[in-house]
Structure 1
Amino acid sequence: MRLILDTVINNSDLPLVDPAMQLVRPSALAVYDMLSNKDKSGNTTLGFSGTFSAEGAVLDTVDRVINTNVIEQDEISILICCNLVQRAGVAFSVVSNMTPATAPFLGFRNISTTSDSGTLAVATGLASPNQAVTITSQLIGAWTSRVLRIKNSEVSTITRSGTVTQAALTNRAKNVAVPIYVNALDASVAAGVKTGTTGTVGLFAAYSEYLSDSDAIGLMNISAQIMADRGVTLP
């Protein structure tokens, strides 16, 4: 059992044993430093059969699955730090739990489209005319840090510099049957975009709240410090 205390100990002489513990907060669903399968929040375990490098989880093939074992919540925020390769002209998944393969859909997905643009789509549960609400969310091409946020009335992304992209939601259909995947989805999952790409995932965390701008930026600043210790510079 792990106790999380909402307090501050101001002693610079105390060593920080595990830097990723700075990403744990009361709403944490999972916090992965991507150096092992361990969840720093103590809630679950990472489903990943690949290898870990000094920078994070290695995506050696486009079919490499990372199952976060996190289920979508009424309010959810996802922090991800990654360096993913663009597959020109190919649609592929970055973060997703969206099913099935045809509308009406459940869940959400952040993908790279066939036109090489990044999008975050939230399912409405409608067959037509608006099957999902989509905003721009590019996570490909270089080391990137981003927070994705979803609640029943809004979807948004925020960068470390504070740039927010958002859209209102009138209808939202959560997916509580399928966990959130990073990169490829499991072969058993019926989805329109299932394969991923190659690269490295440095950090992943999910929270059962719609993080404020300041909290999201604060977590990304912590992420930048963690990744800097691994020799990675995050914008």
Structure 2
Amino acid sequence: MYNGVTAAFGTMHGKEEAVAPVFAELLGVEVYVPELDTDQFGTFSGEVPRRGTALEAAREKARLAMKKSGLALGLASEGSFGPHRSFPLVAEHHELLLWRDEERWLEIVEHHIGLDTNYSSGVLTAEELPAFLRQARFPSHAVMVKSGDFVRKGIRTEEALLAAFREAGGPVHVQTDMRAHMNPTRMEVLRVLAERLAHRLLQPCPDCSCPGWGLVRSVNGLPCESCRVPTPLVQYDVLGCGCCGKEQLRPRGTQASAMYCHICNP
């Protein structure tokens, strides 16, 4: 359905390098990147706090790209990094990729949540740097240095890193640079997510044939195998259409192990 069309991508950090080839090959969609400032919606360095949720930020990026380009189709992504929701000592990467079709009043979002990230940060001395840099996969992955109002981003050489340390003075906050063009691991996640979104756009709604039929939410409550009490595990996936609203339930399983039950395994 989208073969031969052009979509505007709201990015200033090279994300099109991961997404555009996938959309061209699988959908026949050309990705165009207008000149715009997406940092206004939030920065990883903290200079500009993100307004609203990750989804709202991605939506605003897509809208801005569409407005700038005059195109009715838009793309945008937004990434969030921090302690894992269940295992706080491990870093989690949540990335979403959004597609907007103004002519069909359609918005499709695909999510990735995983541990495949080098995200890390800390207040370090020069002596503590080597261990941090190994974990951060430096220099293939950039880092940033912050101290008060002082910020240096996109650091990929030891010389630039030591210079930033000297300029900042004393122990400073060092963080992995999570901007896509500075982080190959994030770029790979975006490529995989682009494949997932492209395949979803190839799936028509069984009722109205609108593109984008797929997972819209999940319903928890898979019953315990022993006592049948609902557990936190997913019982159903809900497949849906963003145009006509049709939904279907897809069972995830029939029962959960008692190890996940708060009654049998308190």
TM-score under structure 2 normalisation? 0.23
Q: Which has the larger radius of gyration?
A: 2
> Which structure ranks higher in relative contact order (CA pairs < 8 Å, sequence separation ≥ 6)?
1
TM-score under structure 1 normalisation? 0.25
> Structure 1 or 2: larger helix share?
2
